[in-house]
Amino acid sequence: MKASERVHSLENPKLFTLAEAVAERERLRHQGRKLVLTNGVFDLLHTGHLSYLKQARALGDALFVALNADTSVKALKGPTRPVQTEIERAFALGALECVNGIVIFREPRLTEEILALKPDIYTKAGDYTLDKLDPGERAALQKVGAGITFLPFLPGFSTTRLIEKIRAAGEI
């Protein structure tokens, strides 16, 4: 039984427990395929997210997304976020052809997932730099030999801006 079936009735064959993701990662490695890993909140998918995820997938043969759990989103973004639950956000990501796997991570940092999955490439949007990466995550990436790539940030798109537009539209 997949993690998605245990947690919610939304069927999402791309939602893995960490153990399931590691098994899938090993299958990819044995096939000689490169794994790209990214992470984030992905609360309301918008054009910026979609552009970024397509670019990230093009860096390798498979793309796994480590998705912030609801509790970490509240800590990062405030008490009104996330707008959608982690299962709903994972379901939306799972519907994208460019995403091959999703793991919900519950700790503040992605270190455990990086060490377990051993991605070939780790990517973040261009608003990040090496200096902005968490030192523990950066050390884990170096330990597993992952390349780190920053993809161009598509300006003008953000979940916060989208929420503001939706609120404004509701007041018309």
- In Å, how far are 113, 135, 160 from 43, measured between CA atoms? 20, 25, 10
For position 122, what pLDDT does the model report? 98
Q: Name the helix (H) or strand (E) containing 136.
A: helix 135-144
AA identity, residue 82: P
Pick the CATH number of 3-170 from 3.40.50.300, 3.40.50.620, 3.30.930.10, 3.40.309.10: 3.40.50.620
* More confidently predicted of 126 and 82: 82
Spell out the domain ranges in the chain.
3-170
Least confident of 28-32, 80-84, 147-151: 80-84
| pLDDT of 6 over the 70 cut | no
- Cα–Cα dist 78/143, whole Å: 33
* Average pLDDT score, the chain: 90
